[in-house]
């Protein structure tokens, strides 16, 4: 997945096609929650969703395409804030991330795909492409702040968003503790302070310049 080339099944048409998409992605979500990525198959998704297997293959082509579409679908519920200030945007986005992970199924989905990515190159590619896309989308709020003069002109927008999200994934995937309001506030303030100080400005190291 990339910002310029949409994966199979990502467009949201209406009517019967929309109902088919919903049924299939709901089935993928349930399968990941119950059995994980390793056991996910087109056959199981077709059986659970009631959608013909040929239809699923035609629209999504692979299991990875299904997971990519699901990750995009689920994350679309996290709105991109526009409060008028970067600090406000970071706080709002951090609260939305917390709300997203309060649904245990969302957390189970991310855990399943991350676990699979450690063993399966296909899952690794899905996960990497997903986060690349989401960082680019969410980076819009950072680019707005640069335009307003809040941040240095060469600030790496994706790096700022990644810095905000990192503590949340550390909390749920590494130390396996719940996300609380304190983490929301500390992640937002730490990211904002570092960005204002120029920590995410794109630079070329002296070593690179002499190569």
- Residues 54 and 147 reside in one and the same domain: no
Q: Report how far residue 38's alpha carbon sits from residue 202's, in angstroms, rounded to the nearest whole number.
A: 38
Q: Report how far residue 141's alpha carbon sits from residue 42's, in angstroms, rounded to the nearest whole number.
A: 37
DSSP code at position 20: H
Task: Quote the pLDDT of residue 209.
Answer: 42
Task: Quote the pLDDT of residue 127.
Answer: 83
- Residues 87 and 174 reside in one and the same domain: yes
> What would the 3-class secondary structure string for 141-169 be?
HHHHHHHCCCCCCCECHHHHHHHHHHHHH
Residues 82-119 pLDDT 10s: 999 999 999 999 999 999 888 877 887 788 778 777 87
Answer whether 21's CB lies under 8 Å from 9's CB.
yes
- Residues 140 and 197 reside in one and the same domain: yes
Task: Quote the pLDDT of residue 142.
Answer: 96
Task: Say if 97 falls within a structural domain.
Answer: yes
pLDDT band at 147 (very low <50, low <70, confident <90, very high): very high
- Residues 59 and 152 reside in one and the same domain: no
Range of the domain at 169: 79-201
- Statement: residue 15 has pLDDT above 60: yes
> Rounded to an integer, what is the distance from CA 79 to the centroid of its chain?
12
- Residues 102 and 183 reside in one and the same domain: yes
- Statement: residue 4 has pLDDT above 70: no
Task: Quote the pLDDT of residue 14.
Answer: 57
Residues 42-85 pLDDT 10s: 999 999 999 999 999 999 888 878 887 888 788 777 788 999 99
Mean pLDDT confidence for 147-153: 94
- Residues 47 and 142 reside in one and the same domain: no
Task: Quote the pLDDT of residue 61.
Answer: 85
> Which residues are CB-neighbours of 80 under 8 A, at least 6 positions away?
93, 137, 138, 140, 141
- Domains: count for the chain: 2
CATH for 47: 1.10.10.60
pLDDT band at 204 (very low <50, low <70, confident <90, very high): low
CATH for 126: 1.10.357.10
- Residues 44 and 69 reside in one and the same domain: yes
Mean pLDDT confidence for 119-130: 80
Tokens of 173: 């995937």
Mean pLDDT confidence for 180-188: 96
- Residues 116 and 180 reside in one and the same domain: yes
Tokens of 178: 């719940």
As beta bridge partners, residue 201 has 155
């Amino acid at each position: 997945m990339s910002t310029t080339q949409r994966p199979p099944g990502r467009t949201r048409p209406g009517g019967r096609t929309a109902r088919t998409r919903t049924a299939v992605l709901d089935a993928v979500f349930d399968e990941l929650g119950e059995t994980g990525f390793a056991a996910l198959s087109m056959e199981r998704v077709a059986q659970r969703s009631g959608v013909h297997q040929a239809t699923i293959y035609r629209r999504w082509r692979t299991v990875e395409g299904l997971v990519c579409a699901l990750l995009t679908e689920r994350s679309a519920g996290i709105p991109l804030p526009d409060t008028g200030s970067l600090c406000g945007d970071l706080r709002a986005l951090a609260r939305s991330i917390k709300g997203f992970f309060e649904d245990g199924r969302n957390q189970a989905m991310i855990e399943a795909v991350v676990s699979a990515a450690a063993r399966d190159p296909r899952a690794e590619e899905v996960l990497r492409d997903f986060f690349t896309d989401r960082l680019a989308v969410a980076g819009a709020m950072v680019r707005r702040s640069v335009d307003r003069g809040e941040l240095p002109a060469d600030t790496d927008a994706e790096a700022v968003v990644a810095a905000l999200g990192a503590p949340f994934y550390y909390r749920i995937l590494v130390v396996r503790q719940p996300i609380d309001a304190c983490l929301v506030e500390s992640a937002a303030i730490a990211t904002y302070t570092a960005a204002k100080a120029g920590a995410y400005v794109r630079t070329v190291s002296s070593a690179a310049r002499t190569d």
